[in-house]
Each structure stands twice: as C-alpha cells, then as structure tokens.
Chain A
C-alpha cells in the first residue's frame, strides 16, 4: 500500500512538474512574441531610410535579450521612444534627404497617426473581432462584420489625415517665412485627427 501511494505520488508530482514547465514555456513564448511584435511595429512605423539605418541593429539587440522578458519589454519601450525622437528630430535625418523631409512637427504628428493605426486600431479591432467571432454564433458574427467595416472606415480616416498632413507639410515648405504659425496649425490638425480617431475607437471598443 505504501509503495503504491509512493508511486502515485511520484507520478502525480512528475505530471505536475511537466504541466507547470509547459505552462511557463507557453507564457514565456507569448510574451516573447508580443515584445517582438511591438519592436516590429515600431520599426514598421519608421520611414524607410531610418529603417535601413536601425532595423537590423535593433532586431539583433532584441534577439540577445528576448529570453529576459522584463529587460526585453523595457528595451521595446525604449525603442519606441527612440523611434519617436529619430522621426521628430531634423538633426537626425540621414544626410542628403533632410531638405526633402516634412517638417519635424508634421513627422511627429504622422508618427502618432501611423502608430495609432498600426498598433492600436487594428489590434483592438482584430482582438474584438476574434473574441466575438470565436465565442458566439451568427448574431455575434454580424457585430464582427459591422466592427470590421467601422475599422476600415477609421483606417480610411487615418490615411486621409496622413495625406492632409502631407499637404500641410508641402504648404509649410512653400510658406517658409510663416512656418512657425503653420507648424502650430499642422500640429493642431494632427492632434485633432488623433483625438477623433481615438474617440471613434473608444466607441467601437464599448460595443457589446
């Protein structure tokens, strides 16, 4: 009897250990994928010339630390800030193209809009759609379709905002003496677009 209990205990203990390690591996894998996706989204939000300068280096650094989730998450957040600064600072524009780039304030506003579109709007809409789609039947599917259509409309709004900022940017270059005033206008337009998209997004998020 004692031997039987010992064997059962041993087997149960082993099964628990295996299950625990599998669960930990799965969570760790999910965190790593999430952090990698964050860094890739940050890189994707950069202009092409900055991607060429930094993408490979950042991926390499991330690969070296991705097994340490807290360090890697901190690194990913830091890269996001780096990307914002690199996009916004005219002194950091790669040589030879500085004159052709939009005004830094316009680039900063565009960065926010692109980031909103890529990392928030699509993710939230896709997450909601998946959650509803997997958990309910036809009625939920209808909601999912509506959500997707709304998300597409938002995407169009955000893209149009980006084009508007391009126009403002072109205007800024043409009206160089009045650039200080125009920059404020461009910033106000950019901020208003972001707020509008945020408001619409929160309406979508609140839907059942």
Chain B
C-alpha cells in the first residue's frame, strides 16, 4: 500500500492523533483540534484509511443511555503509528534544517559580503 500524500494539513491531523496514539478520535474532534475545516479533514481521513495508517470503528455505546448518537472513531494502526511518527519527525527535521539558514540569511546586512 503506497504512503498517503503528506500535505501540511495531513501532518496536522497526524500530529493531533500522535498527541495520544492510543486514543480514539472522531472526525469533528480532529477537525477542531487540528483547526482544519471538515471539508479538509474527511478527505485526509479517507486517504489515511486507504493507506492503512488509520482504522475506524463505530463507538460502542447505547445511544439511548448516552443521549447522543454513536460516533465513528479513528485510531492509528500498528503500521500507521510508526509511519506517522517518522513522517512527522522528518517534517520537523526539515523545518529545523531550514530555520538556521533562513535566520542567518535574514541577519546578513544587504551589500555586505
């Protein structure tokens, strides 16, 4: 199964899930916590499901007792957790590499070699 396309938004969703890798999250919760719109989050979830980085299940509750409908919950798979961690680490490392270069070029005086 090929790895999903890792856009900034995808990494944001993975970041939220990796903040508690053993927890289950529902779609709207991921949207709120990643500060992405639902329109962005659901296609990302679909890609991660198809790449088998995520798995989903219906919440095991009695709606009558809880007073709300059951939710569909997402969590990282055994393969997805390390892959997501690696992808996020790679992204952070590339940002850290870019940061000193950017700051050193920003502090250089114009016209001074």
List residues of A whose CB falls within 8 A of some B CB: 53-54, 56-57, 59-61, 63-65, 74-75, 77-82, 85-86, 89, 91-92, 95
Contact = CB atoms under 8 A, between A and B. Distances in A.
Contacts of B39: 77-82, 85
Nearest to B27: A61
B43 A85 contact: yes
A65 B47 contact: no
Given A91-B50, A92-B50, A95-B50, A57 B72 contact: yes
Interface in B69-110: 69-72
A79 B42 contact: yes
The 8 A-B pairs with the shortest beta carbon distances in the complex, nearest first, are A81-B39, A78-B38, A78-B39, A82-B42, A85-B43, A57-B72, A78-B37, A60-B69
Contacts of B68: 63-64
Contact of B70 (A54, A60, A79, A91): A60
A82 B50 contact: no
Contacts of B28: 61, 64-65, 75
B20 interface: no
A61 B26 contact: yes
B98 to A, nearest CB: 28
Nearest to B69: A60
Interface of B: 5, 26-28, 31, 37-43, 46-47, 50, 68-72
A82 B71 contact: no
Dominant SS among interface residues on chain A: helix
Contacts of A65: 28
B38 A75 contact: yes
B64 to A, nearest CB: 14
Contact of A64 (B31, B41, B50, B69): B69
Contacts of A81: 37, 39-40
Contacts of A74: 37-38
B42 A86 contact: yes
Interface centre among B39, B69, B72 (most CB of A within 10 A): B39
Contacts of A59: 69
B72 to A, nearest CB: 4
23 contacts: A56-B72, A57-B27, A57-B71, A60-B69, A60-B70, A60-B71, A60-B72, A61-B38, A64-B28, A64-B69, A65-B28, A77-B39, A78-B31, A79-B38, A80-B39, A82-B40, A82-B42, A85-B39, A86-B46, A89-B43, A91-B47, A91-B50, A92-B50
